[in-house]
Structure 1
């Protein structure tokens, strides 16, 4: 059926007018053009929608039956395109992002504050989950942007590095005193270790590094960073974790110790600080960055957050 939005609007205006001339004036059309539109619509539907005489025009019973549906379709059409315009203008909408808890706590608040200043009408939904789930949220399209360590398998994903994180030893004050302010992998083997669960990438990376130097004594594992901190604080053991977690650990009264060959904390650069030999003092380091599904386009609001984030960290890359 070849009935357009233009035909629908013409029908509604004539239905709300007393004459074709009045309706034509409202639509900024000539009367013959309006009459032609109505006749084409009637031909498509198979019958007359209006009763016409020299003085006025009125709806037939079929026209009266059509009018409420025509009004609903017109409102739906207008609302649909208004909503899309609002999305493009960031006047409304929702942006879902996924972030590792460590990034969500330390870096994300200031980023989202700045984004909210630019797009105050966008509702933000933050999914704070472990790295592996961040990747899944992006792959499955449940989140548009992820903040995570660089995945080992990036097929179908786009990763943009923001900074490089140097892992640190986290210990209670009493345990930290035995390190003389610097750590080595060999020293870590002299302490009981509490670690993230075996399925996590952080556990995989740290355990693999420890095994290069000996046999680690892992006495407990957990899936929550906060629980890990409480276990360390209790004196159960030490842990090795990204320095992006340092703020959260220090809030618990714990100490973060760099490895002897480590630069301090996170490095906001795209160079290659992770290219290192098997030194006992060399830090473990991994890139942290933005993640998106390269098969899906970003919404305007997601593009804005992506650009805002990359510009902020790009401005720091000359400090390496």
Structure 2
């Protein structure tokens, strides 16, 4: 059996119009060409597809049974053609992603490498800054996608849950916690604290309030970037809580890291994009590909 797509299209078109003339007009063929395609399709299928009744083409019982299958074949073909068109468009696109700087140098490279190997013609731009800046970059249109911890997005931003990332405590290698396997929040009352995000500080204050925890009257050092916080902690200037992926750099900054408990703390991470904006094919495929990298995002 050697059925062609032109034969299937002719069959579906004639069945839809009940007319060879109208089918020929839609397919930009002559009536004789359409009739020939129908005849060939019927011969290949081994059934009679149509019979004339009052000047119109009526499906035979066999044709009625075959029509839904033929339509599914054409629908699948149209879907494949649309996917190929999207891939061609994607190969001409630039994808801009906003991410926290430390996420960009720990977890993201492997994700981008995997994506780049599959879609080498997509031009990638990473806008790396602080976690507090991600939403602003997406809101301004300087990045199509943002990846970062939970933030108050506002009505103009849509967010898609990605994963929960555990938070760990980091401190200098000679710190009093150096031999601990985990640390409770209540043990931090006498510790100098290094703060690197105003939003995260507010989150911690609410956490302490819910759990009747209080910090002592010790020094709080405020910085803008998480890498700076890690460097200060490694030099013994205090402790701080960071996403688990940041602990990959512990050795570089002379740090140790341990889980926090009572309560355990995790941060929800999201994909952010402008609400109402149609994502480019490259962005859609990138969002789907993120699932392969989620395990490493939560690794310590």
Could you say which TM-score interval applies, normalised by the shorter chain? Answer: 0.5 to 0.7
CA distance in 2, matches of 1:196, 1:303: 32
Residue pair 2:135, 2:153 contacting (<8 A) in 1 also: no
CA distance 1:179–1:201, change in 2 (3 Å): farther
Q: Which structure 2 residue ranges, 5 or more long, are not aligned?
A: 1-84
Residue pair 2:102, 2:227 contacting (<8 A) in 1 also: no
Q: Which structure 1 residue ranges, 5 or more long, are not aligned?
A: 1-84, 261-280
Report matched runs for 1:276-315 at 5 Å. Answer: 281-310=262-291, 313=294
CA distance in 1, matches of 2:292, 2:277: 22
Q: CA deviation at 1:258?
A: 0.5
2:224 alignment counterpart: 223
Q: Tell me the SS of whatever aligns to 2:126.
A: strand
Q: Tell me the SS of whatever aligns to 1:175.
A: coil
CA distance in 2, matches of 1:171, 1:312: 27
Q: CA deviation at 1:210?
A: 4.1
Taking structure 2 as the reference length, the TM-score comes to 0.63
Q: CA deviation at 1:87?
A: 7.9
CA distance in 2, matches of 1:221, 1:102: 17
2:19 alignment counterpart: none
Q: CA deviation at 1:98?
A: 0.2
Q: Tell me the SS of whatever aligns to 1:121.
A: coil
CA distance in 1, matches of 2:278, 2:175: 49
CA distance in 2, matches of 1:238, 1:301: 40
CA distance in 2, matches of 1:190, 1:291: 37
Deviation sequence 1:164-222 (CA, Å, 0-9, x none): 1121111111215366221111111121112115xx32222234434541134233111
CA distance in 1, matches of 2:271, 2:231: 29
2:47 alignment counterpart: none
CA distance in 2, matches of 1:129, 1:302: 20
Residue pair 1:88, 1:300 contacting (<8 A) in 2 also: no
Deviation sequence 1:263-310 (CA, Å, 0-9, x none): xxxxxxxxxxxxxxxxxx112222112111122111111111111114
**1:110 and 2:110 aligned:** yes
Residue pair 1:87, 1:93 contacting (<8 A) in 2 also: no
Provide the alpha-carbon RMSD of the alignment.
2.7
